Structure 1
Amino acid sequence: MDFSELLNRQTKQYSDKTAIIFRESRVSFKELRDASFKVAAGLSHLKISRSEKVAIFLPNIPEYIFSFLGIYLLRGVSVPLDFMLTEEEITNFIRHSESKVLIAQEKRGIGFNNIRSKCPTLKKIIIFGQSGPAISGKEGFLPWDGFLKESQSSSLSAEVNEKDHSSIFYTSGSTGHPKGVLLNYGHLKNPIECFEYFLSLTDKDVLMCAGVPFSHLGGLDHLLLMLYFGVTLVLMERFQPLEFLKNIEKHKVTLFCIVPSMYVAVLSLKEYDKFDLSSLRYAVVFGAPSSPVLLERFHKACPNAYLLNGWGMTETSAPNTYLPTGTNTKEIPNTGKFPPGTEAKLVDDKGGPLGDEKDGELLIRGKCVMCGYYKEPELTKQAVTKDGWLCTGDIARRDKLGRYAIVGRKKEMIKVSGEIVFCPEVEEVIHRHPKVGEVAVIGVPDKLRGELPKAFIVLKEGENSSEEELRYFLREHLAHFKIPHYFEFTSELPKNRVGKIDKEKLRQG
């Protein structure tokens, strides 16, 4: 992608149109372009050039977007870091990525002096926020405003090569071991092409980033869609269910992308049905298997909107599948087709091909597949075959129409006395119980049967239930070996930064 050409073109067409709404402030497309070029000029002044790494440690604010684009204008490599990271984690990622500059907002518990002293490649830390002026003149530090004042050029650009590396996204996936997913500039086209294929976006649309962190590829996707389609982006620093609904009504939002647990939080609000959601054209769910019951409840409030279930991974420059618009809502949960240019197949445990209506590991091949794991050649070889197939670790099923349904992760496949149980299948059935708000199912070791399912249940507000009541309900819908052996009622389930249920924490107890 040529970000210089794209920013200039969109500014020429949409100059004074609002590009970003953040709280009570607005940023026009012209202001977006100018700020991005200033960041690029400032980084150039700090001797940042093609393929050099710049880390970003900011919450979801407009300056994160300016930083991304400034790096991309120089054909540098962005290293977005989650704002929830500890000082030790930030240090490890900067050392691993060999970042030369860090753009950051000060945060309690984070010692940037310590980080700089432990990272030999880190030459400068740019501090955004109220404390910025206090570090003016301090060796190795620059306040954000001072950084921008030194940036005067408005015509910076670099030769475009789609194979140049663009980003390193650190993801632990389901392994718990952080890996740096290396993407190139060609990969940044994938979310745009996918949305262009499955949806009909226009410059009249209003897109909301409902707290999906920019440190995740799903967050960056919002920036790319805003810029390419000329839509207005409503930016939330963090997900707040009530604020989410207020924003839809106030700004006439037409599209958002959230994970299933966010739907749960929205639907649990007493005020939920008091908001006007009629502006919605698309409501996207991604990141985890979704409950048909939840989607149907939400759809009642916006019957004219298409509900789309998305699938993708950082390793496949997500997203990758949706059902095309116009599909019956009842068919949506966990199903989708791949766009042109992406191949998919299912294989058994030995790598042999599987036909329709069979459960197997999903393999992906195409231009969407990552360059590899940064500095991890052995991990890359394990993940990507010699002929280019990415082993996703997801178990899927394909129907006769070529649609794929994600059944669960390999790690979420439990063997109970030799019988296969998929945790998402059990969760979906438990979700149907009218008293259940949230649920997570994991496998726990058992000496006699290998593993047994355990369900963690969050009841809806004001509801009471028991293990016996749920067992009685499940007997009507599940084979006996799929019914959880253990039930634990809890007030909340642990979540990661994207809002997905953190099953690793549940397994660790």
Structure 2
Amino acid sequence: MHFTEQTIGAFMDEKCREYRNKEALVFPDGQERYSFEAFQKLYEDIAKGLLYLGVKNGDHIALLSLNSPLWIALQIAAAKIGAVLVCINTGYIKEELEYVLRHSEATTLLMMESFKKNSFFNSLSEICPELSTAQPGTLCSASLPNLKNVVMLDNCVKNGTFSINDVLGMAAQVTDATLQKASDRVHCKDITNIYYTSGTTGKPKAVMLNHFVILNNALQSGRQLGYTGKDRLLLCLPLFHVIGYVLSAFSCLLVGATVVIAPRFETEKMLAYIAQEKCTVLNGVPTMFKLMLDCKNFDQYDLTSISNGFIAGSCCSPELIARINRTFGMHLLNVYGQTEAIAICQTKATDDDSVRATTVGQPIPGIVAHIVDPQSGEELFDEQEGELCMDTVYLMDGYYKNEEATRKTIDERRWLHTGDLASIDPNGYVCIKGRIKDIIIRGGENIAPAEIEAVIKELDSVEEAAVIGIPDEVMGEEICAFVILKQDKSLSSDVIRSHVQARLAKFKVPKHIVYAQEFPVTSSGKVQKYLLRKQFLKQAELLQETAV
């Protein structure tokens, strides 16, 4: 099996020359269109501007923005000069932003000013009050000692910052030869991306991925998904996740396809983009497809151009897959992956409908799947259920500054432990049965219960908290917090939700709050969350029966 050992920058340069006059990026919101030639000019100018700012090989540069052509260009620009792009979730609020910037040791932050009511710049100004009096490029912050440069992507004028136009203007001061020299120093096994992913212990873990892993996974996955140069992808998945960038935008660009970029998912706008731009590929998480299918104006849009796509991010019922295929008239494939190894298993267009609806397919080339006993680690066979482990060439380099977590996830055989319960049928198809790890997947976002529990327990009236995921038709799972109050204390659900929303991203706020006297625990004192889940579902069922 052939794997390329080129860097992302070198490979992308080749493709931009090969597809020079083809349309690469379309951004309807900004009325922007880029050919592959223009796209290359954009990312090379950004790369030169970053070099002029003093960004060096191995430096960490953070990106906080909704989807845009600049986002993709910044990714390639960073890769060309050997910088490491730290991808930040736009749902993060101040405390989470501060943690990621400090933990990643980012020297440069490229950011949009705000999204909805979340002002990223105001949050940064509170974290770094020194920004208001600093000259651009000379930030010296007590809270974030590594951060020197702040670049505003929406060209607003802010004290202590550069605009993206400033950076593009700096490109004239850097020669092509200097850029090439920087690019030649980059190796395919160098780290190029850090993605923060929720873990069972609370704080998000920083997954390090190198050029080889991202480029080859995008190529192999794209082949399995059937992307061609004739395709037009509607990108509505966030670029700060691997399914948005690696498996959608980047994978399509590598075959000369066009990427139609939505800043974020908005139900009816997505349907309009498909009709206007004649998109052929639609990738999403179950929640996105459900919202589009249930849109009251669904039948008003011409969606006949859609032919294929994938669904990923959380478990999907066979009924939903069948409904999507039937209503969109498409061949929907199932993709299973994790940030730690990107795409792992995929169904194929040639698979039977029943296979595509009930399994996550076979491991892609470069991966061998194993099932092991979660307790003993012994390998299991003959369709036995156990933990899904992967021997993969697309393995992360580990969690940044977290060797303990890395050792727990990657064993001595270099197998990745997914934390998912699964079985493998005689034909090598993987069926996911559930999760071993304590993670909630809400609308495609991985959420660590421990993080929410810690925030709830900050409240003086709270004795103990246990957070679980419970089934939800639209979001896949919703967050439910069981709370034990201290003796003679009272606390409303609204106060709990407000406190969580002030400390964590909005998507981490519990929808359901249940007050309890005690929690079921094991002999070692561990909360038995599966019993709390059964208790909640039983109460919900009784309420439905009462209503009837």
Structure 2 unaligned spans of 5+:
1-5, 129-138, 440-467, 483-518, 544-548
Shift in Å at residue 370 of structure 1?
0.7
| Match in the other structure for 2:356 | 332
Shift in Å at residue 130 of structure 1?
4.2
Quote the Cα distance in structure 1 between the aligned partners of 2:410 and 2:20.
43
Structure 2 CA distance for partners of 1:454 and 1:268, relative to 1, 3 Å: farther
Deviation digits for residues 329-380 of structure 1 (CA, Å, limit 9, x no counterpart): 2221332101222111001121111113221101111211110010111111
| Match in the other structure for 1:291 | 317
| Match in the other structure for 2:347 | 323
Shift in Å at residue 195 of structure 1?
2.2
Quote the Cα distance in structure 2 between the aligned partners of 1:40 and 1:412.
40
- Kept in 2, the 8 Å contact 1:53–1:101? The answer is yes
Structure 2 CA distance for partners of 1:441 and 1:397, relative to 1, 3 Å: farther
Shift in Å at residue 8 of structure 1?
3.1
- Kept in 2, the 8 Å contact 1:168–1:183? The answer is yes
Shift in Å at residue 309 of structure 1?
0.7
SS at match of 2:391: strand
TM-score (norm 2): 0.74
- Kept in 2, the 8 Å contact 1:48–1:76? The answer is yes
Shift in Å at residue 252 of structure 1?
1.6
- Kept in 2, the 8 Å contact 1:442–1:454? The answer is no
| Match in the other structure for 1:281 | 307
Structure 2 CA distance for partners of 1:383 and 1:203, relative to 1, 3 Å: same
Whichever residue aligns with residue 151 of structure 1, its letter is: A
| Match in the other structure for 1:122 | 147
Among the aligned pairs, what percent are the same residue? 27
Quote the Cα distance in structure 2 between the aligned partners of 1:249 and 1:379.
45
Quote the Cα distance in structure 1 between the aligned partners of 2:194 and 2:377.
29
Shift in Å at residue 25 of structure 1?
2.1
Q: What is the total number of aligned residue pairs between the two structures?
A: 441
1:112 aligns with 2:114: no
Structure 2 CA distance for partners of 1:3 and 1:369, relative to 1, 3 Å: closer
Whichever residue aligns with residue 220 of structure 1, its letter is: Y
1:486 aligns with 2:539: yes
262-271 or 33-42, which moves further after superposition? 262-271
252-261 or 6-15, which moves further after superposition? 6-15
| Match in the other structure for 1:40 | 47
Quote the Cα distance in structure 2 between the aligned partners of 1:103 and 1:214.
14
1:225 aligns with 2:225: no
Quote the Cα distance in structure 1 between the aligned partners of 2:169 and 2:145.
27
1:10 aligns with 2:35: no
Q: How does 1:98-497 map to 2 (within 5 A)?
A: 98-107=105-114, 108=119, 110-113=122-125, 114-115=127-128, 117=141, 118-132=143-157, 134-135=158-159, 138=160, 141-152=161-172, 153-154=175-176, 156-157=179-180, 158-159=183-184, 160-210=186-236, 212-221=237-246, 222-303=248-329, 305-316=330-341, 318-333=342-357, 334-348=359-373, 349-411=375-437, 440=477, 445-446=519-520, 484-487=537-540
Structure 2 CA distance for partners of 1:204 and 1:324, relative to 1, 3 Å: same
74-83 or 275-284, which moves further after superposition? 275-284
183-192 or 272-281, which moves further after superposition? 272-281
Quote the Cα distance in structure 2 between the aligned partners of 1:392 and 1:285.
19
Quote the Cα distance in structure 2 between the aligned partners of 1:208 and 1:119.
37
- Kept in 2, the 8 Å contact 1:22–1:61? The answer is yes
SS at match of 1:392: strand
Whichever residue aligns with residue 539 of structure 2, its letter is: Y
Shift in Å at residue 185 of structure 1?
1.0
Structure 1 unaligned spans of 5+:
414-422, 456-480, 491-509
Structure 2 CA distance for partners of 1:127 and 1:447, relative to 1, 3 Å: closer
- Kept in 1, the 8 Å contact 2:335–2:343? The answer is yes
Whichever residue aligns with residue 150 of structure 1, its letter is: M
TM-score (norm 1): 0.80
- Kept in 2, the 8 Å contact 1:167–1:184? The answer is yes
Quote the Cα distance in structure 1 between the aligned partners of 2:198 and 2:410.
17
Whichever residue aligns with residue 362 of structure 2, its letter is: K
Structure 2 CA distance for partners of 1:164 and 1:484, relative to 1, 3 Å: same
Quote the Cα distance in structure 1 between the aligned partners of 2:192 and 2:223.
23
Shift in Å at residue 283 of structure 1?
2.4
Shift in Å at residue 328 of structure 1?
1.8
- Kept in 2, the 8 Å contact 1:284–1:310? The answer is yes
Deviation digits for residues 293-326 of structure 1 (CA, Å, limit 9, x no counterpart): 11211211233x221111000011x112111221
Quote the Cα distance in structure 1 between the aligned partners of 2:197 and 2:101.
14
Structure 2 CA distance for partners of 1:20 and 1:242, relative to 1, 3 Å: same
